[in-house]
Amino acid sequence: MEFDPRKLSTALFVLSLVLQCKPRIPEVGKTIEISELGLIFDYEGWTYGEDASEQYEYRAKQKSRSDQKKQDLKVLFYLIDSEENSKSGIRTSINFISEPIPVKYSKATLDDYVASMGALYSNVYRNYQMLSVPQKISLGNHKAALLEAKFLLESSGRETEIHTYQIVFLKEGSAYVISASTPETEFKTKGSKLLGTLMRIRGNEKP
């Protein structure tokens, strides 16, 4: 069953917002447990924040009060690289968002959702390209897909090439997307940190 790619449009707004946001209080050596998803995030070396969700909600409502879909999408949290690297004006970051899947697409599979993401990003971002075939992975008890891609992001009147990893999984009528992104010019130094942080996400199953 095909999943409507238009339903993912708000994720693009969140991605650009989080890439440019500023952190509040640097913290290292921390973990985040999301018990309802059975996941634990180790974010050592990153600054944790939740402001992006508040900024997103305000701007989305101002943009279209009638579009309930925009208000349904949630930024669960975001992480900003604790090391300053603002040469391009874009910060290396990780964000975790969720959005409900419309009832009429309730039969959509993970493959359907991933295909829809690729189709939408190709139409919205300039020079969007998937760098490899999506990999099937396990994230705790969730079946997930790992994607790697590049695209051009417009910011402050100029375009910056962004390199991103994304982990996608579905649970009980919602889609969850973890995006780890950095300017392509910094990927050689930041890419391993992005992927390494994603690979440290684990299940919180008790022994």
Give the separation between CA 65 and CA 62, rounded to whole angstroms.
6
Beta carbons of 70 and 63 less than 8 angstroms apart: yes
Model confidence at 118: pLDDT above 90: no
Q: What is the pLDDT of residue 167?
A: 96
Buried b (16+ CB within 10 A) or exposed e, 111-127: ebbbbbbbbbbbeebee
- Beta strands 39-42 and 202-203: pairing type? antiparallel
Burial class (CB in 10 A: 0-12, 13-18, 19+), 33: exposed
Beta carbons of 132 and 120 less than 8 angstroms apart: no
Give the separation between CA 58 and CA 186, rounded to whole angstroms.
31
- Alpha-carbon torsion, ordered 83, 20, 112, 72, to 10 deg: 120
pLDDT, tens digit, 9 for 90 and up, residues 65-93: 334 444 467 888 889 887 765 566 788 99
Q: What is the pLDDT of residue 158?
A: 81
Select, from the ranges 2-11, 19-28, 181-190, the one with the highest average predicted confidence (pLDDT).
181-190
Whole-prediction pTM value?
Answer: 0.78
The fraction of the chain above a pLDDT of 70, given in percent, is 71
Work out the average pLDDT over 96-119: 88
Average pLDDT, the chain: 77
Give the separation between CA 148 and CA 129, rounded to whole angstroms.
9
Residue 32's closest CA among 73, 69, 79?
79
Answer yes or no: CATH 3.40.1000.10 is held by domain 31-54+71-203: yes
Beta carbons of 155 and 89 less than 8 angstroms apart: yes
Q: Which of 120-129, 131-140, 165-174, 189-198 has the lowest mean pLDDT?
A: 120-129
- Domain map of the chain by residue range? 31-54+71-203
